[in-house]
A = this chain, B = another copy of it.
Amino acid sequence: MPYINIQVTREGVTREQKAELIKGATDLVVRVLKKDPAATFVVIDEIDTDNWGLAGESTTVLRARQAAEVQRS
């Protein structure tokens, strides 16, 4: 009966990647805890970059700075 919630920023996660995350997370609790895959939920939340903060600033701001640094280098 595990419930696994994976929260990531909304930055283009593809359907295939979501399928891999769901399979990988399920396999993990089956392997480590011998859980029943048929009773294992995996829920992926995609969060807008304006809505996810790290070190006091939004990911939108962080990504813009990272892009500028790449351009300068």
Contact = CB atoms under 8 A, between A and B. Distances in A.
Copies of this protein in the assembly total 6
Interface string A20-31: 111111111101
A37 to B, nearest CB: 5
Contact of A21 (B21, B22, B32): B32
Contacts of A9: 1
A7 B43 contact: yes
Contact of A2 (B6, B18, B32, B40): B6
Given A4-B5, A44-B50, 13 more contacts: A1-B41, A2-B7, A3-B3, A3-B6, A8-B29, A19-B58, A19-B61, A21-B33, A22-B53, A23-B57, A26-B55, A39-B54, A45-B51
